């Protein structure tokens, strides 16, 4: 019976984390989409990633109470931080056309916008 209670608690905590993260992401995506300036979009993306990292940290005590081991949480935190860092490193917004630009090839540097051809203020 205790194993079932632990599994239910883990599922409930994971469900809450998913809902909170989805709601925050949806709000930030809408704000990024509606923003007209590339600098504001860039700032909103950085704030979104920071807020999601704080939300993840906020859910660590419930995960611990639900039965997750500390090594599991450390691995999840490390992977999440690594993915957020890669997202910040390989994405930007064009100042001219305000489109999101993502460089999926880390061995090449994008110096121009692939959509409008304008010089990027921060080459990817």
69-106 tens-digit pLDDT:
888 888 988 998 899 898 888 888 888 888 888 888 87
Are 53 and 107 contained in the same domain? no
For residue 54, give Cα distances in angstroms to 1, 20, 50, 80, 108: 33, 12, 6, 11, 32
Apex 67 CA angle, 66 and 68, nearest 5: 105
E-state strands within the chain: 91-93, 100-102
Are 53 and 114 contained in the same domain? no
Are 78 and 105 contained in the same domain? no
Are 80 and 69 contained in the same domain? yes
Q: What is the pLDDT of residues 31-69, one digit of tens each?
A: 888 888 888 888 988 899 889 888 888 888 888 887 788
Does 2 or 79 have the greater pLDDT score? 79
Mean pLDDT of the 99-124 span = 84
Are 68 and 21 contained in the same domain? yes
Report the pLDDT value the prediction gives residue 3, as an integer from 0 to 100: 62
Spatial separation of the C-alpha atoms in residues 118 and 103, rounded to whole Å: 16
| Least confident stretch, 7-11, 60-64, 107-111 | 7-11
| Nearest by Cα to 120 from 19, 38, 33, 59 | 38
Are 97 and 81 contained in the same domain? no
Are 70 and 109 contained in the same domain? no
Are 112 and 83 contained in the same domain? no
Are 76 and 108 contained in the same domain? no
Report the pLDDT value the prediction gives residue 68, as an integer from 0 to 100: 80
Are 79 and 59 contained in the same domain? yes
Question: Beta-carbon neighbour count of residue 20 at 10 Å?
Answer: 15
State the total domains in the chain: 2
The dihedral region occupied by 114, where left means phi > 0, alpha psi between -120 and 50, and beta the remainder, is: alpha
Spatial separation of the C-alpha atoms in residues 99 and 89, rounded to whole Å: 16
Does 7 or 84 have the greater pLDDT score? 84
Are 63 and 79 contained in the same domain? yes
Are 67 and 99 contained in the same domain? no
Give the residue numbers spanning the domain of 114: 92-124
């Amino acid at each position: 019976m205790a194993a079932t209670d632990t599994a239910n608690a883990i599922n409930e905590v994971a469900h809450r984390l998913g809902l909170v993260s989805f709601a925050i992401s949806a709000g930030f995506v809408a704000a990024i989409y509606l923003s007209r300036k590339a600098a504001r979009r860039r700032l909103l993306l950085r704030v979104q990633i920071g807020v999601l990292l704080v939300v993840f940290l906020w859910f660590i005590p419930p995960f611990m109470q639900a039965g997750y081991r500390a090594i599991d949480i450390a691995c999840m935190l490390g992977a999440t931080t690594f993915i957020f860092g890669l997202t910040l490193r390989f994405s930007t917004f064009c100042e001219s056309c305000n489109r999101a630009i993502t460089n999926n090839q880390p061995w090449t540097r994008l110096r121009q916008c692939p959509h409008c051809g304008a010089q990027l203020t921060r080459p990817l």
